[in-house]
Amino acid sequence: MIASALPEQTTATAAGPPSAGGSVASALADTGVDELLREFDSELIGLAPVKARIREIAALLLIDRLRRERGFTAAGGPSLHMCFTGNPGTGKTTVAMRMAAILHRLGYIRKGHLIAVTRDDLVGQFIGHTAPKTKEVLKKAMGGVLFIDEAYYLYRPENERDYGQEAIEILLQVMENNRDDLVVILAGYKDRMDRFFESNPGLSSRIAHHIDFPDYRTGELMQIAQRMLDAMHYRFDAEAASVFDEYLRLRMAQPHFANARSVRNALDRARLRHAYRLYSHPEADTSDEALTTITAADLRASRVFAAAEPGTQAAQ
Amino acid sequence: MRLTQGTFSFLPDLTDEQIGKQIDYCLGQHWAVAIEHTDDPHPRNAFWDMHGAPMFDLNDAAGAMYELAACRAAFPQRYIRVTAFDSTLGVESIRIAFIVNRPEHEPGFRLVRQEAPGRTVRYSIESYAVAANPEGARYS
């Protein structure tokens, strides 16, 4: 991959004139996208297939740019409409935000803003309301990225007079005709998106990149928790870290597990208990240590452990 | 007769690329871009028809160009102008307006002389474009 080959190439071509066949690395350095990708790699945990695809897209845009400078034009730019599918909390929205910045840095979109919408923002409430509403949103998003969260809600098969279909048609038309002006990213849960595409094959075929977000493994979730705690200026003590690991295993086995979002919620609840523990022991000291440390007891109080209890007893 | 009204009107017609750049400038100033059209280019005709609502939340000229293309398709034989509204307190007015579409044939204006008492002559102008259509045909 281009980024990994960067360091040695930079030194090799530092003196060469750029027009007479500079290296990929020098072009990459000009855009600053390498730094952005590196940041993307290090700040987001896991998501290997997503990162690989985004690297490929970045590479394509960069090479396209080099080709254009030499006069090799491919008719029209590449189509970059994307579809992110994955379970809740796997980072779809976060990646979409990054995507806008990356595409902007690569010069594919002109402004680099992201407009996040759902069905409510696109579909109107009465006849003749949908088209202007959808167009308004599309115009706002031009020059940037339009992110449609839970896109499958656009199509309601149970109601044949639903206005969602009209929104989809306008969307399709603009996606095709104004390809250079905006990038559309659809996001949603895998199974429902698949059903949505089955009933709208035109939409599926106009989206070049279907990217599936895998679930996080326990180790990755642990890293994410660590990252979140750092950002909030908390930390686990030695025992709490292993208890949280155990918590994650139990929680993952339960229904409605929402990956990173569940981790965030668990930490938020632990913060509540931590605060209440300090509050209910007024005589306890309020050193920095006490204010920032989440202990095993704060985590143990979770319902998840209580629910697991009968199971473990039965096993014994 | 070539109509000269608004900004840039003594220059050759702007290309789409140039229009886009002007709109980008307007958006950069946080002005709201709107598209208007009329068949009556009389200089005192302040009320052109609006093509949709003014676009307050645009980030890029492409959105306005998209509407302009739609307006041109609907009214190829009308005058179309782009206006930019500045909502700053104390200004609250159009900052710039420029013509982006003209009919193929621009008939110009007729000078009308009205006799008044004492051999006074009052002058007014009337656009031929309006006079060309018979009664009732303009607003059908």
Q: Who's near A35: CB < 8 A, 6+ residues apart?
A: none
d(CA A73, CA A70): 9
Averaged pLDDT for residues B107-119:
93
Mean pLDDT in residue range A271-277: 91
Domain count within chain B: 1
pLDDT tens digits along A80-111: 899 999 988 898 888 888 888 888 888 888 88
The whole-number pLDDT of residue B36 equals 96
Q: Per-residue pLDDT tens for A103-134?
A: 888 888 888 899 999 999 999 999 999 999 99
Interchain contact, B59 vs A113, CB within 8 Å: yes
In a domain, B31, yes or no: yes
Average pLDDT, chain A: 83
Beta strand B79-86 with B93-101: parallel, antiparallel or unpaired?
antiparallel
Provide the sign of the torsion angle of the four alpha carbons A171, A177, A181, A183, taken in this order.
positive
Mutate to test the interface with A, among B51, B60, B65 (most CBs of A within 10 A): B60
What is the predicted pLDDT for the residue at A67? Answer: 86
- A146 close contact with B: CB closer than 8 A: no
Is B44 a member of any domain?
Answer: yes
- Cβ(B6)–Cβ(B114) under 8 Å? no
Place A309 in a pLDDT band, splitting at 50, 70 and 90.
Answer: low
pLDDT at A99: 87
Domain that holds residue B85: 16-106
In angstroms, the Cα distances linking B71 to A94, A140, A179, B46, B75 are: 37, 18, 20, 19, 6
Q: Give B133→chain A minimum CA distance, Å.
A: 31
Q: Which of A121, A142, A175, A179 to mutate to test the interface with B (most CBs of B within 10 A)?
A: A142
Residue B130 pLDDT grade (very low, low, confident, very high; cuts 50, 70, 90):
confident
> Which of A261, A269, A259, A260 has the alpha carbon at shortest distance from A304?
A269
pLDDT at A311: 52
Phi first, then psi: give them for residue B97, nearest 5 degrees.
-145, 130
- For B57, the closest chain A residue by CA position comes to A140
Least confident of A21-30, A81-90, A246-255: A21-30
Q: Has residue A24 got a pLDDT over 80?
A: no
Confidence at residue A1, expressed as pLDDT on a 0 to 100 scale: 37
> What is the average pLDDT score of chain B?
92
- pLDDT, tens only, B56-102: 989 999 999 999 999 999 999 999 999 999 999 999 999 999 999 99
Place of tokens 């009320």: B47
Rg (CA), chain B: 17
> Does any CB of chain A come closer than 8 Å to the CB of residue B26?
no
From the candidates B57, B66, B68, which should be mutated to test the interface with A, based on the most A CB atoms within 10 A?
Answer: B66
Chain B residue with minimum CA distance to A138: B63
Domain membership flag for residue B10: no
User: What average pLDDT score do residues A235-241 get?
Assistant: 89
CATH of the domain at B95: 3.30.190.10
Round to whole Å and give the CA distance between A138 and A133.
9
Of A113, A139, A144, nearest to B66 by CB-CB distance is A139
For residue B112, being part of any structural domain is answered with no
Structure tokens at B76: 């190829």
Of A111, A140, A174, the CB nearest to B57: A140
> Smallest Cβ distance to B62: which of A132, A135, A143?
A143
Check if the beta carbon of residue A294 is closer than 8 Å to that of residue A230: no
Give this prediction's pTM: 0.80
Kindly report which listed range (A39-53, B38-52, B110-124) carries the lowest average pLDDT score.
A39-53
pLDDT value of position A76: 65
Residue A7 has a pLDDT of 40
* Reported confidence tier of residue A18, pLDDT bands at 50, 70, 90: very low
Provide the percentage of residues in chain A whose pLDDT is more than 90: 31
Residue B127 lies in a domain: no
pLDDT over threshold 70, residue A22: no
Asked if residues A225 and A89 have their Cβ atoms less than 8 Å apart, the reply is no
Query: Does B59 contact A at CB distance below 8 Å?
Result: yes
- Say whether pLDDT at A291 is over 60: yes
**pLDDT tens-place string over residues B8-39:** 999 999 999 999 999 999 999 999 999 999 98
pLDDT tens-digit readout, A194-209: 999 988 888 888 898 8
Is the residue at B93 inside a domain? yes
Q: How many CB pairs under 8 A join A and B?
A: 42
Question: B140: pLDDT confidence band, cut at 50, 70 and 90?
Answer: low
How near does any CA of chain B get to the CA of A136, in Å? 8
SS3 state of residue B136: coil
Partners of B20 on chain A (C-beta within 8 Å) are none
Residue B55 located in a structural domain: yes
Chain A residues inside the 8 Å CB shell of B64: 139
B39 touches A: beta carbon within 8 Å? no
pLDDT above 70 for A276: yes
Distance of alpha carbon A101 from alpha carbon A80, whole angstroms = 14
Question: Does residue B75 belong to any structural domain of this protein?
Answer: yes
Q: What is the mean pLDDT of residues A287-294?
A: 88
B52 touches A at CB < 8 Å: yes
- Using one digit for the tens of pLDDT, what is the confidence trace for A42-86? 888 888 888 888 888 888 888 888 888 888 877 667 788 999 999
In sequence order, what DSSP letters do the residues of A146-210 get, joined into one string?
Answer: EEETTGGGG--TT-TT-THHHHHHHHHHHHHHTTTT-EEEEEE-HHHHHHHHHH-HHHHHH--EE
Question: How close A219 gets to chain B, by Cα (Å)?
Answer: 41
